[in-house]
Amino acid sequence: MKPDNWQILSMCIFVLSCSLVTACGRPFYLVTSDFRVADNREAPPEIVESQTYLSVISTIKSLAVIAPEGCANETAAQSSGEAAGQGVLLKTTCGIEMAELERALAKGGFQVISWNVLQNKVLKEEVTPQAASKELGAEVLFQINSLERSLVQAGQDARWERRFYESNNEGEQLDPASLPVKEGEQLVGHIKKKEASLTHQERLSMTINASTSLVETGETIWFYEWTHAEAHEQDDAIKVLAVCDNGECQEVSVKAKHPPDEARLISGSNEAISELKLAKDHQTAVYHKLLRDLVTNLATSFKHQS
C-alpha cells in the first residue's frame, strides 16, 4: 500500500476512534443530582378527651353539626378540582366541606342532623345552636371552629446527592468517574444552577380545629386539631452533560438520538388530556383529598377512645 494510502487510513481510524470514545481529548461527563427529602413523620392529631366524654361516648347516637363562621364558597366541581369555575348557578356556603364531615360521621355510625337544617332553624327562630340542637333531638353539638388551607415546606431534612459518570454526546450514563478537584467543582457549579429550582418546593396542607359539647348541659367534652399535608411522592433528579478540556468544564447540549425534524416522517399524533379525571385545578383537587383524610380521621377519632 502506498504511503499516502496508509496516511489516509490512519487518519480515518483516528477520527473514528475520537467520535466513538470522546471528543479527542475532550471527554464527556454526566453529572446526576438527586434531591432526597427525609421528612419527619407527620405529627398526629392533637386530641383532648374529658372524663365526661369517656363516660358518655359509648351511648352517643345523634349529632348536630355546626359550620365555622367563614368557609370557602365553592361548588362541588370546584372543591374536587374536577372543573375550574366558569360561573355558578347554585351554591351553598360551606356545603362541600360540611357534607364531607357529615358523610364521615354518618359512616362512623352516628345519626347526623345536617348543619344546614341546624343553621336554618337558628336563623329562623333566632335561637342558639345549643337550643336548636336540643329541639332537633341531638345529644352532642359538633362545632367546626376553623378549616384552613396552607402551604408547608417540603422538608427540613433534605440533601442533594451528586454523582459523576463518563458519558458521550448523547448523554448516556456509563462508568462512574473521578475528576480533579478543580474540574469536579466546576461540574457541581453547573448543576447547582438547576438544583435551585427544586430546593424550595412547598406542599399543600390543611388544618382543622373542632370541638364537641353536650347539648343537655353545654359542657365541652372533646377537642381535636390536626394539620395534614400532602405526601412527598418521589425524589427529584436532574442531570447535566459537560465536556472538560484543559481543566475547563462547560455544559453542552445532548445530541439528539433521532434524525433532524426535516428528515422524519409522521402519520399522525395523539395527546393525553385526562389527568386527575380531567382536573383543571390540581391544587384544589389535592386540597379536596386532604379534606377527606382530615374529616375521616376526625370522625374515627371521635367514635373510638384513644
Could you write out the DSSP letters of every residue in 117-141?
A: HHHHHHHHHT--HHHHHHHTT-SEE
CB hemisphere CA count around 75 (13 angstroms):
12
Which residue is it, cell 352532642? 140
**Is residue 41 a part of any domain in this protein?**
yes
**Is residue 287 a part of any domain in this protein?**
yes
Q: Which helix (H) or strand (E) holds 302?
A: helix 282-303
**Is residue 19 a part of any domain in this protein?**
no
CB 166 within 8 A of CB 27: yes
Strand partners for 282? none
| Number of other residues whose CB lies within 10 A of the CB of residue 240 | 23
Q: Once rounded to an integer, what is the mean pLDDT over residues 75-88?
A: 48
Q: Once rounded to an integer, what is the mean pLDDT over residues 225-242?
A: 79
| Residues whose CB is less than 8 angstroms from the CB of residue 78 and which lie 6 or more positions away in sequence, other chains included | 84, 85, 281, 284
Long-range contacts of 180-183 (CB under 8 A, 24+ apart): 180/247, 182/247, 183/244, 183/247, 183/249
**Is residue 144 a part of any domain in this protein?**
yes
CA distance 75 to 99: 12
For residue 25, give the DSSP letter: S
Strand partners for 37? 158
271-300 pLDDT per residue, tens? 555 454 444 567 778 888 999 999 999 999
**Is residue 6 a part of any domain in this protein?**
no
Q: Is 45 helix (H, G, I), strand (E, B) or coil?
A: coil
Number of domains within the chain: 1
> What does the DSSP assignment read for 49-86?
E-HHHHHHGGG--EEEEE--S------HHHHHTSS--S
**Is residue 223 a part of any domain in this protein?**
yes
Strand partners for 214? 140
CB 38 within 8 A of CB 155: yes
Rg of the chain's alpha carbons, rounded to an integer?
A: 31
Does residue 12 have a pLDDT over 80? no
Read off the amino acid at residue 15. V
Give pTM, 2 decimals: 0.60
Q: Once rounded to an integer, what is the mean pLDDT over residues 189-215?
A: 81
CA distance 282 to 276: 8
CA distance 169 to 174: 12
| Number of other residues whose CB lies within 10 A of the CB of residue 301 | 19
**Is residue 10 a part of any domain in this protein?**
no
24-67 pLDDT per residue, tens? 556 899 888 877 666 556 789 999 999 999 999 999 999 999 98
Q: What is the CATH number of the domain that holds 114?
A: 3.30.160.150
What's the distance, CA 302 to chain centroid?
27
CB 61 within 8 A of CB 139: yes
Q: Which of 31-35, 95-99, 262-266 has the lowest mean pLDDT?
A: 262-266
Range of the domain at 287: 25-253+279-303
| Residues whose CB is less than 8 angstroms from the CB of residue 277 and which lie 6 or more positions away in sequence, other chains included | 82
Q: Is 221 helix (H, G, I), strand (E, B) or coil?
A: strand
CA distance 277 to 275: 5
Q: Which helix (H) or strand (E) holds 21?
A: none
Percent of the chain at pLDDT above 70?
A: 66
Q: What local confidence, expressed as pLDDT, does residue 300 receive? A: 92
**Is residue 108 a part of any domain in this protein?**
yes
